[in-house]
Amino acid sequence: MGILDNIDFLVDDPKNKVNLTFLKNSVERGNISHAYLFSGGDIDKLYRLSQYFSASVNCPGKGCGDCKVCKDTLKGVYPDVITVEADGSILTIDKIVELQNFMSLTSYNPGRKIGIIKDADILNEEASNRLLKTLEEPPHPGSIFILLSEDTKSILPTVLSRCLILEWNLEPDRKEIEKTYFAELEAHVNEGIRNLICISRNSSHRDFSHSLNLSVKFVDFLKEITNRVKEDLEKEIKEIEKSSVDRSAADKYTKPIKARNERRLKKISNLGVNKVFDIISAWLEDICMVRLNFEASKLNYEQNYALIKESFEDVEIDRVLKLSELIQRNREHLIYSISSELSLDNILVQFQNLIKPIKPEV
């Protein structure tokens, strides 16, 4: 049994089992690709997976877990494995140059030189193009590149096409994040939507300021959550700074942690907006279900059945589906840092426009 058989942080999932079997067979047969892309919902777990695979590739026992190659690789100190990651929110060309230079040097150890690229989705254009050339013409025969990404949508298609892509199911981490930081969010958003419906129904004209105010409330609530996360993440940095007399030594350790935390905060923020999108989408699904005469028990939010039946009595299902499509497009655009507040403004205004007022408009 090798180290690829003893990865305890992976979910018992068919996709993960297929990936592990594929990697183990590749190692056993020596049929190793020059470029891989590991994608999934947790960059730290993806990195650990890349270390397990790298150790298996170079270990004389194909991943025994006990030899110096395995132990040093898993510690991140094996001399023929390099990891490059961003110092800030962008992975720049100097990191790819560093990778190229490392991979072009002759190794004094048996096995292959391996370059691991964390957060490949934040490569800027210049770095992406440089990486593409590197993947097309590796600086050294036998080089292996492992790209890691939580979201592959922003990676150049030409880069993706040069990689063997393995998608891992790491979803429980997202569920854990939602449980920890978004416990209040669903109730908050549902209450806001119910209030919006009640206000709109009792208004004799369309006053979209209610939608815009609700959008601001949602964004402010998400900012509160992000600030809570930030406080939690900063505890590690404060502990390092307290324990170190030498300020420059402390900075050396805290700089990559701060960069990692910045990316994690962005992830939490995007997850929060996506959660709001999920809740609004669930309301739209329920509206369609009610219009199609499904029972209340079939709804996402059974308790809203009567309110939906009264408030969306005549709405055309096509209009509801178009708003669902708009939410999906906005969801995809979040990776480009498009304003979440503007997205929510537009979505909530259109949602309010679906509501049937009790009083006729004048």
For the cut 90, the answer to whether the pLDDT of residue 24 exceeds it is: yes
Residue-level pLDDT at 34 = 94
How many Cβ atoms from other residues are within 10 Å of residue 313's Cβ? Answer: 10
Query: Domain residues of the chain, as ranges?
Result: 3-169, 174-353
CATH 3.40.50.300 fits 3-169, yes or no: yes
In sequence order, what are the beta bridge partners of 148? 38
CA 187 – CA 306 distance, rounded (Å): 18
pLDDT at 108 over 70: yes
| pLDDT for position 132 | 95
The single residue listed with the structure tokens 């209450």 is 191
Is residue 335 over pLDDT 70? no
The most confident of the ranges 46-60, 99-113, 202-216, 346-360 is 46-60
Question: Does residue 342 have a pLDDT over 60?
Answer: yes
Q: What is the CA radius of gyration of the chain?
A: 25
pLDDT at residue 253, rounded to an integer: 63
Question: What pLDDT does 165 receive?
Answer: 96
The 10s digit of each residue's pLDDT in 174-230 is 556 666 677 788 888 999 999 999 998 887 677 888 898 998 988 888 888 888 888
Give the pLDDT band of residue 247 (cuts 50, 70, 90): low
How far separated are the first and last CA of the chain, in Å rounded? 76
Q: What's the CA gap between 68 and 78, in Å, rounded?
A: 9
Q: Which residues pair with 164 in a beta bridge?
A: 36
At 86 the pLDDT is 86
